[in-house]
């Protein structure tokens, strides 16, 4: 009689190869130094690749983009191969097969830059649809036939209403950052869009929280979803160190902020108003600390140029309002400074989440005036931050340690706008489809960091880097928002004015 043995235990998944992904996809991941899945990917991919509806919960920076990008391209390639074997053509004009909804233009671009190389490896085409640019190139791309559309709700509804596309052939729908879409008031439009996709097709929803109506979307449109939650979205990442610097008055505050901006690494400074963000960026640049601003008064072309300069390393300081609090996926942001503390704890966590991403560490500093002490105390309590205020002045050891190595003085001249066609369109921004026939540009150098794809070569580089600053991270990698982020209600341009646009040769981080 054979001796009894213990039941065979499943071997933990440690690489993407263990998941049974297509060989071309694995080659693309390997080329970018991506070999080990993040927890949200390890947890959700077996279910999403099997065709189940998935609800993924986790904060930004947890690897959600690849968690839905991989099953989208893999399942479309599989169904396309079956159709080809049956003598059928699956790619029709204006009839995409997968839809990815994102709350902002920059996030849509970032998703496309992550998914396009994977799609190209499998012979699939992608395009972006969002407002703020002319729709003509987007319509042209749709008419040429695309497999995957990455869209913001407003412009997508406009094109649906004009019958430039139909959603009858959609096989997979993805909602990324659904809680942000809820915050921006997009859920009614999202419901109208989902109502036009075939029922019981696969749907993947990723969100940090389920409040503000996201739970209604889950109950109404996801069929027996498998839920995967890999972290507490309401808590800060464990590798994030928080500091509260108490200053005596506004003059001391100004000097401390200027000192914190002088380090050699990337840092993001958050301001309360657009005017103050613009003013501080100019002051820093004039003082030899290259800085760019990001706020709602900037046009699409200026936003892209500034983000490209920050991502490429031409400048190391980004001064922003809360429009940059979500979706900036740039590696190696070592410091976030709340120059003006945010109004509530969710904004604090989203702002702070620009650092300590993908397993890296980072510091978060809140500058506190005497009259802000009570508000900061409430803010940190709700955000589950235990840092205690420290009284500081410029040059104190605490401030100096946060600055680290001081960068040399640099005279920086922002790049002039480059005319790229109508209404600020570069080829990529106008919604041109991405297929295997396009070149991929040069690989960005990230030291093998997970999630850094090659650049897609879709635009202009940003010129010379400042002294001592290597390029790392990616290009257009920020999310911001206006009253109508996706541009359906974007402000009109003045008569006779030509839009200015700029591209960027660096790709964003894939995770």
Q: β-strand 148-151 against 54-57: which pairing, if any?
A: unpaired
User: Do the domain assignments include residue 291?
Assistant: yes
Residues 47 and 150 placed together within one structural domain of the fold? yes
C-alpha distances (whole Å) from 348 to each of 213, 324, 344 are: 22, 12, 7
In order, the DSSP letters of 473-504 are: S-SS--B---TTTTSTTPPPPPTT----B--B
Look at residue 24 and tell me whether its pLDDT is greater than 90: yes
The two tokens of residue 344 are 């509530």
- Residue-wise pLDDT for 314-350, tens only, equals 999 999 998 777 766 777 888 999 999 998 888 888 8
- HSE at residue 279, side-chain half, CA atoms within 13 A, is 7
Q: β-strand 317-320 against 240-246: which pairing, if any?
A: unpaired
Residues 168 and 302 placed together within one structural domain of the fold? no
User: Do the domain assignments include residue 100?
Assistant: yes
3-state secondary structure of 381: helix
Q: How many contiguous H segments (helices) and E segments (strands) does the chain have?
A: 15, 14
The last residue of one of the domains, among 373, 403, 433, is: 403
C-alpha distances (whole Å) from 197 to each of 187, 224, 385 are: 15, 18, 42
Number of domains in the chain: 2
How far is C-alpha 378 from the chain's CA centre?
29
Residues 87 and 192 placed together within one structural domain of the fold? yes
Residues 95 and 167 placed together within one structural domain of the fold? yes
User: Do the domain assignments include residue 469?
Assistant: no
| Rounded Cα–Cα distance for residues 44 and 78 (Å) | 19
Helix (H) or strand (E) holding 438: none
Query: Inter-axis angle of helices 250-260 and 274-286, to 10 degrees?
Result: 60
CATH number at residue 203: 3.40.50.300
Is the distance from CB of 79 to CB of 22 less than 8 angstroms? no
The last residue of one of the domains, among 196, 229, 262, is: 229
User: Do the domain assignments include residue 10?
Assistant: no
- Residue-wise pLDDT for 284-317, tens only, equals 999 999 999 998 788 777 888 898 899 888 999 9
User: Do the domain assignments include residue 338?
Assistant: yes
Give the range of the structural domain holding residue 255, as residue numbers without chain letter: 240-403
- Residue-wise pLDDT for 399-447, tens only, equals 999 999 998 988 888 766 665 444 444 334 444 455 444 433 333 333 3
């Amino acid at each position: 009689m054979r001796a009894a043995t213990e039941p065979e235990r499943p071997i933990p998944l440690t690489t993407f190869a263990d998941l049974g992904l297509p060989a071309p996809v694995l080659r693309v991941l390997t080329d970018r130094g991506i070999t080990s899945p993040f927890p949200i990917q390890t947890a959700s991919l077996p279910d999403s690749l099997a065709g189940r509806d998935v609800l993924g919960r986790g904060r930004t920076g947890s690897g959600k983009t690849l968690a839905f990008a991989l099953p989208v391209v893999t399942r479309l390639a599989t169904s396309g191969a079956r159709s080809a074997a049956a003598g059928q053509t699956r790619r029709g004009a204006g009839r995409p097969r997968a839809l990815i909804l994102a709350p902002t233009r920059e996030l849509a671009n970032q998703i496309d830059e992550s998914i396009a190389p994977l799609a190209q490896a499998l012979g699939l085409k992608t395009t972006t649809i969002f407002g703020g640019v002319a729709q003509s190139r987007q319509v042209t791309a749709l008419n040429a036939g695309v497999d995957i559309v990455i869209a913001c709700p407003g412009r997508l509804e406009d094109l649906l209403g004009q019958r430039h596309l139909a959603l009858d052939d959609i096989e997979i729908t993805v909602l990324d950052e659904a809680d942000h879409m809820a915050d921006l008031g997009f859920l009614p439009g999202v419901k109208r869009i989902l109502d036009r996709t075939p029922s019981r097709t696969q749907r993947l929803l990723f969100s940090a929280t389920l409040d503000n109506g996201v739970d209604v979307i889950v109950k109404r449109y996801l069929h027996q979803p498998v839920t995967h939650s890999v972290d507490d979205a309401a808590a800060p990442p464990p590798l994030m160190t928080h500091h509260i610097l108490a200053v005596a008055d506004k003059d001391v505050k100004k000097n401390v902020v200027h000192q914190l901006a002088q380090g050699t690494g990337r840092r993001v400074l958050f301001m309360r108003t657009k005017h103050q963000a613009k003013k501080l960026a100019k002051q820093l640049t004039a003082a030899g600390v290259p800085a760019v601003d990001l706020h709602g008064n900037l046009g699409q072309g200026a936003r892209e140029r500034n983000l490209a300069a920050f991502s490429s390393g031409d400048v190391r300081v980004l001064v922003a309002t809360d429009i940059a609090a979500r979706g900036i996926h740039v590696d190696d942001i070592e410091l976030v400074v709340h120059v003006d503390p945010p109004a509530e704890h969710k904004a604090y966590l989203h702002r702070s989440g620009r650092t300590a991403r993908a397993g890296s560490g980072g510091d978060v500093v809140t500058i506190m005036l005497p009259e802000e002490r009570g508000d900061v105390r409430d803010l940190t309590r709700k955000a589950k931050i235990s840092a205690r205020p420290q009284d500081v002045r410029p040059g104190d050891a605490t401030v100096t340690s946060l600055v680290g190595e001081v960068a040399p003085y640099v005279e920086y001249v922002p790049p002039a706008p480059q005319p790229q066609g109508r209404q600020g369109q570069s080829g990529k921004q106008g919604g041109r489809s991405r297929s295997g026939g396009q070149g991929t540009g040069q690989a960005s150098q990230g030291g093998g960091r997970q999630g850094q794809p090659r650049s897609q070569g879709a635009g202009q580089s940003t010129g010379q880097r400042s002294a001592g600053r290597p390029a790392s991270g990616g290009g257009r990698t920020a999310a911001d928002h206006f009253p109508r982020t996706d541009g359906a209600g974007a402000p009109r341009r003045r008569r006779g004015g030509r839009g200015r646009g700029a591209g960027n040769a660096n790709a964003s981080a894939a995770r």
